[in-house]
Structure 1
Amino acid sequence: MVTTKIGKSPKPPALPPEIVSAAKIDSIIYWKLHKDAQAPYRGTPASAGLDLCSVDTLIIAPGQVKMIPTGLGCKIPDGHYGQITTRSSFALKRTIVVGGVIDSDYQGEIKILMMNLGLDSVIVSKGERTA
């Protein structure tokens, strides 16, 4: 019989073999899974979080929900999680809702969940800061 203590996660999987490059910002280790991925960064020194960019150009139709690829993976410190939320300037320009959580044991590609609440299609451009 196998038992696991509540609150303990199993050991995370090994890092993906397709990593293009890796680095660390604050206490978060991240890696590029796509050659065009942009490293997460703070828009200003006092920014509350790190900006994430789309690695592809996509169109989101009215009422449609899409996962926007970033081409990045990361390791969140144990006991913490990453929160993906809308950049206020992005939301002001479009009627978009963004959300997501990155668990500390998730090491796949970070994707940004977006829903278009507007009446017109929204274009998310490659390299655009979206969350």
Structure 2
Amino acid sequence: MTIRIINKSTNSLPAYETAHAAGMDLKASLQTPLVLKPMQRQLIPTGIFIELPTGFEAQIRPRSGLAFKHGIGIVNSPGTVDADYRGEIKVLLINFSEVDFPIQNGDRIAQMVIARHEKVDWDEVEILSETLRGTGGYGHTGIQ
């Protein structure tokens, strides 16, 4: 699949880091470094603009290493970039740790997965089919 992209940053295009990676790393596009304070949220620009085909979305997800090592996550994870959006992709980072987290231009801050999705038509009914699980929700199967 080929996707049209504009790169207004000084960084390379998003790329897969390994042969079987599902996500491409997104990099911060900053004029000056910034510091993400504990529990602070900040919208980080990437300088990337994309044109997705109809029926696809870009999912913006946290990087596992940043989450594990530094407590850095994404507030609306996964974020969705719709096929009709033409603005800059920005990443809403949050610092869940107790220490400041510096971010510099070119730092890999998130990953982007391109995924197909379906549109649905609703069939409004009075009763749904029965399943073994039924209405069992959060925690209904226990932990062991």
The normalised TM-score by structure 1 is: 0.74
What SS does structure 2 have at the residue aligned with 1:130? strand
Task: After the TM superposition, list the runs of 4 or more consecutive aligned residues in structure 1 that deviate by more than 4 angstroms.
Answer: none
Aligned pair count reads 105
User: Match for residue 59 of structure 1?
Assistant: 35
For residue 79 of structure 1, the aligned residue among 49, 55, 63 is 55
> Which ranges in structure 2 are unaligned for 5 or more consecutive residues?
111-144
Q: 1:104: how far off?
A: 0.6
User: Match for residue 19 of structure 2?
Assistant: 45
Given that 1:28 and 1:74 are in contact with CA atoms closer than 8 Å, whether structure 2 keeps it comes out as yes
Given that 1:37 and 1:72 are in contact with CA atoms closer than 8 Å, whether structure 2 keeps it comes out as no
Alpha-carbon separation, structure 2, partners of 1:54 and 1:68: 6
**Amino acid in structure 2 at the alignment position of 1:28:** I
Q: 1:38: how far off?
A: 2.5
Q: Deviations over 1:45-94 (max 9, x none)?
A: 11111111111232111111111111110011111111000111222221
The normalised TM-score by structure 2 is: 0.68
**Amino acid in structure 1 at the alignment position of 2:5:** Y
Alpha-carbon separation, structure 2, partners of 1:29 and 1:49: 17
> Which ranges in structure 1 are unaligned for 5 or more consecutive residues?
1-25
Q: Deviations over 1:6-65 (max 9, x none)?
A: xxxxxxxxxxxxxxxxxxxx432211123x132010011111111111112321111111
User: Match for residue 119 of structure 1?
Assistant: 98
Deviates more, 1:87-96 or 1:44-53: 87-96
What SS does structure 1 have at the residue aligned with 2:26? coil
How do 1:10-29 residues align onto structure 2 when only pairs under 5 Å count?
26-29=1-4
Quote the sequence identity (%): 34
- CA RMSD between the two structures: 1.3
